[in-house]
């Protein structure tokens, strides 16, 4: 009987036929690929948006004669850098304004980071009946305009004796806000629950797991919240205008407006000094954002798709 040998089946993988979904994904990637026209458009738009800042610097470097003649130009023609020293020699305590802003903004950022991390972690990890309903109520507070609570809040702080102090500007930040709570909860929801189980096996409690394990992993989102809060508190004008009446307690955002009253009679306000104060108000936030932008990027990558669970 003759034996026949069967050839083994071809073991080489058969190339997969691209599906409609993968083809759509490839077309999407090609659609968002940057081209020279993309960069040209970004350069043009960025240049247009940068014009106000150039004009700000141009006015800040102008002389008093240029201010009186209102002969400002977009690009600076004069370079009076002594204006950055003169702004501290006016009748207003600009150095004190700057220090007040640092105190208010720093303590506000610390309060938001501490309170938001605790509350957001609790919503993400703790099991409690009605937790999701309470979380939705917290999110619903974002739809309440600040103008509605302004008068009741002022009456409450007045009864507490906090008017004309830093407390109304700082203490509310130690109770967090809905947006920051949502950011923390979104970020923590992406972390594996096995991390908490490992901490429990090692004998850690709820707060121990939070402090030793989860809190260091939340560093990017905490930095982002700190930057958001620092920026809002640093440039806040309405809050100090409502609660502060003592000139020595005013922050820089309010003090810059007071520079307009230092001009002589029948003369234009010293807009060059006003713009110098505006630069002092702007540059620290630019530096802080530049130093913290990588943490903002890490926060988006790590917690951008968690969603509301």
Give the model confidence (pLDDT) of 212-256 as tens digits. Answer: 888 888 888 999 999 999 999 999 999 999 999 998 899 999 988
Residue 127's pLDDT is what? Answer: 85
Query: What distance in Å separates the CA atoms of residue 234 and residue 236, rounded to the nearest whole number?
Result: 6
Please enumerate in sequence order all residues whose Cβ is within 8 A of that of 101, keeping only pairs 6 or more positions apart, or say none.
234, 251, 252, 253, 281
- Residue 55 near residue 68, CB atoms below 8 Å: no
Cα 100 to chain centroid distance, Å, stands at: 20
CA distances from 151 to 148, 157, 276 (A): 7, 10, 34
Closest CA to 192 of 162, 227, 229, 217: 217
Q: Where are the alpha helices (DSSP H) in the chain?
A: 20-31, 36-60, 64-69, 83-86, 94-125, 131-140, 146-159, 167-170, 178-189, 194-201, 206-209, 215-217, 219-234, 238-243, 252-258, 271-303
Higher per-residue pLDDT: 148 or 205: 148
Please give the structure tokens belonging to residue 111.
């309060």
d(CA 181, CA 119): 6
**CA trace torsion 294, 297, 301, 302 (10° rounding):** 60
Q: Is the separation of the CB atoms in 216 and 191 below 8 Å? A: no
Q: With CA atoms as reference, report the closest residue to 224 among 296, 135, 305.
A: 296
Q: Give the model's pLDDT for residue 168.
A: 95
Sign of CA dihedral 58, 60, 64, 69: positive
Kindly indicate the confidence band of residue 299, based on its pLDDT and cuts at 50, 70 and 90: low
C-alpha–C-alpha distance, residues 256 and 12, integer Å: 74
With contact defined as beta carbons under 8 Å apart, do 124 and 189 qualify?
Answer: yes
Global pTM reads 0.80
**pLDDT tens-digit profile of 7-46?**
444 444 444 444 544 454 445 445 567 788 888 999 999 9
> What's the pLDDT tens digit per position in 117-161?
999 999 998 888 888 999 999 999 999 998 899 999 999 999 999
Query: Which of 218, 242, 236, 213 is closest to 285 using CA atoms?
Result: 236
Contact 172, 182 (CB under 8 A): no
List the one residue out of 31, 128, 60, 98 whose CA is nearest residue 234. 98
The predicted pLDDT at position 190 comes to 85
């Amino acid at each position: 009987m003759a034996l026949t040998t069967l050839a083994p089946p071809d073991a080489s993988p058969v190339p997969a036929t691209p599906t409609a979904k993968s083809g759509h994904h490839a077309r999407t990637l090609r659609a968002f690929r940057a081209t020279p026209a993309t960069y040209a458009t970004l350069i043009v738009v960025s240049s247009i948006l940068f014009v106000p800042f150039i004009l700000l610097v141009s006015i800040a470097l102008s002389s008093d004669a240029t201010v009186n003649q209102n002969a400002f130009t977009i690009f600076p023609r004069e370079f009076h850098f002594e204006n950055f020293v003169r702004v501290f020699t006016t009748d207003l305590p600009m150095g004190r304004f700057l220090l007040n802003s640092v105190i208010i903004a720093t303590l506000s950022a610390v309060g938001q980071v501490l309170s938001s991390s605790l509350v957001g972690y609790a919503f993400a990890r703790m099991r409690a009946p009605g937790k999701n309903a309470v979380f939705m109520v917290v999110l619903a507070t974002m739809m309440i305009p600040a103008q509605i609570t302004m008068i009741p809040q002022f009456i409450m702080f007045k009864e507490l004796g906090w008017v004309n102090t830093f407390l109304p500007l700082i203490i509310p930040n130690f109770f967090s806000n809905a947006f920051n709570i949502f950011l923390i909860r979104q970020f923590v929801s992406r972390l594996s629950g096995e991390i908490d189980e490992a901490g429990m096996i090692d004998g850690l409690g709820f707060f121990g797991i939070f402090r030793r394990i989860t809190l260091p992993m939340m560093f990017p989102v905490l930095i982002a919240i700190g930057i958001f809060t620092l920026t809002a508190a640093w440039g806040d004008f309405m809050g100090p205008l409502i609660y502060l009446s003592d000139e020595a307690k005013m922050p820089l955002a309010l003090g810059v407006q007071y520079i307009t009253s230092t001009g002589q009679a029948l003369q234009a306000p010293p807009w060059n000094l006003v713009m110098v104060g505006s630069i002092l108000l702007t540059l620290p936030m630019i530096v802080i954002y530049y130093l913290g932008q990588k943490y903002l990027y890490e926060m988006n990558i790590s917690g951008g798709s968690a969603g509301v669970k």
